[in-house]
Structure formats: structure tokens, C-alpha cells
Amino acid sequence: MDVPTAAGLALGSAADLLLGDPRRGHPVAGFGTAAAALERRTWRDDRRAGVGHVLVLTTAAGAVGAALRRATAGRPLARTLVTAAATWTVLGGTSLSRTAGRMADALDDGDLPRARAVLPSLAGRDPSGLDAAELSRATVESVAENTSDAAVAPLFWGAVAGIPGLLVYRAVNTLDAMVGHRSPRYERFGWAAARLDDVANWAPARVTAALTVACAPLAGGSGAGALRAWRADGAAHPSPNAGRCEAALAGALGLRLGGRNVYGSRVEDRPVLGSGRPPGVGDIRRATRLSAAVWTTTTALAAGARLLRGTWRG
């Protein structure tokens, strides 16, 4: 049994629950700074340049993870502590809930300017013209998608590959956030980051949807509704992964997500997910409760997987 890695995943998750993200010197922010510096040298309006950019940075993250794994081999306490630190570093479940809570607080106060100022921390759409209903929808959709990206996926890859899995996944997801979005600058250069992130999140997104079904009653929702919406609408979303998470949460909470989103000069009309009512401010807190239930359950499953598959190296 791989007790040290299992214990490290559990301890790191507990640290995220209690503390949220590290307040200073966050390693992910440091990685982002290094990636931005490298981009100034590697950027070309070319897919091959983007492939090279991603390959260098993810290989570096993997090398750091492998070095930490070697350094802690045969030292159970060290392996536990390093895995816990890496898990805490790459998780963002509590910060996601706290940011969504700030949005709910602002909307409860009727303070639209404050609510619009919060949205860029959750979603990339233009907040300037959004009312309370659209801000609520954007927040609920972000909570649904980022439950997978910020929490379930890193725990999944931590269970699969230990410390290297944690670090490489976060590198992939960070690069997608930095260069994987559609824009004239990144249409070609960011292609590799976006596709690699799709691959890395394929299984975690479906785990997230399945656990949304299982955990829906814990947030006063419907597991049957989550399953119906996931099966009916999950594939309609333009993302191969986000739609599964958003549809399952919409069905669980009796909501209808999707619609027109504005990203600067780009407008997207997203398909409808779920058959309920539009989300309101109160649904933000329901969504965060369900999100927390999903990713803390994932922690137990990830730790259990390491105990059951102790023959894995990691």
C-alpha cells in the first residue's frame, strides 16, 4: 500500500480546505511568471512554436516532480509531506468557493460594480454589461467547470502518478489559461496548450459529472436530475469536458445554464444545459456546496486508489 502518497493527498486537501491557496510566494504564480518570460522568446504565430513552448514547460514540471519523487524514495514521512505540499499548491477548490462567495455577497448587497469586479477571477467573459442574473449564471457555470479543473483533475492525476502527476497537470492547466484561449495572438500558438488541456481533463470531467450525480443530495439537489441532464445535454457544449460538468450541476440543482456569452469582441451563443429555471444569487451558494462535496469526495477516492494500487511507482 502506498500510504505516504495517500496520506499526502489527504493532508494537502485538508490544507486547502482550511487555508485556501498559499497567500505569498505561490509556486503556480511563479510558474506562470516563468512561462510568460519564456513566451517572450518562443512566441510565433505558428502551431509548432506553441508545441515547443508547452513541451519545454511541462517537461520541466515533470522533471521537478520526478526529482522530488526520487528524493523522497524510501522516506515515508518526507514523501507524505512533499506530496501534501504539492497537493496544497495545485488545488484551488476552496479559493473557487471563496471567490464565488464574494460574488454572492456583492449580489446580495445589490452592488453590481463590486460583483462585476469579481467576475474576472471566475470567468473570462466581459462583465461590464451583465446584470445580476447573468452574473449569477456566469458564476454557477464557472463553479461547475472549475470544480473539475481546480480540484478533481489534480487529485485524479495525483492518484495516477503521484507528485509528478500533480505538478504536470497544474502546468498543463495553467498554460491553457495563459495561451489556450481563442484570440488573434493565440489562435495558432495556443493550440497545443488547449488540446493538451482537453486531453488531461477528459477523464476528470467525467469523474466530476459522476460525482455530481452521487453528491447532489448533499446539496439538496437531485441525483436523477443530474444524470438526465448530463446524458441529454453534456455533449452539446463546445468544450469536450466543461459541458459534462455544467450539465450535471444544472440538472442536480434544477437549473438552466448556457446562453449568450461576450468575450471582448467575440460573442458565443452557448447551448442550453438543463431544463430548469435560470440561476439566481442563492444558487451560487448551492453550487459551491455541491462543488465542495464533489471534490472532497474525490480526495477520499484518490487516497483510496493509492492505497489499493500501492504497486504503482509514484
CB 185 within 8 A of CB 44: no
Cβ contacts of 22 within 8 Å, gap of 6 or more: 88, 89
Angle between helices 281-308 and 93-108 (to 10 degrees): 170
pLDDT of residue 107: 97
In whole angstroms, what is the distance from residue 114 CA to residue 123 CA? 15
Q: What is the model's pTM?
A: 0.93
Contacts of 174 (CB under 8 A, 6+ apart): 28, 31, 32, 35
- The C-alpha atoms of residue 261 and residue 84 are separated, in whole angstroms, by 38
Quote the Cα angle for 53-59-62, to 5°: 145
DSSP 53-86: HHHHHHHHHHHHHHHHHHHTTT-HHHHHHHHHHH
Which pLDDT belongs to residue 266?
75
pLDDT per residue as tens digits for the range 112-151 = 999 999 999 998 888 988 999 999 999 999 999 999 999 9
> pLDDT value at position 265?
67
pLDDT at residue 313, as a whole number:
46
DSSP codes of every residue in 219-241: GT--HHHHHHHHHHHGGGSSSTT
Segments of the chain with pLDDT less than 50 = 311-314
**What backbone phi and psi angles, to 5 degrees, belong to 122?**
-115, -35
Among positive and negative, which fits the CA dihedral 298, 137, 106, 216?
negative
Query: What pLDDT score was predicted for residue 267?
Result: 77
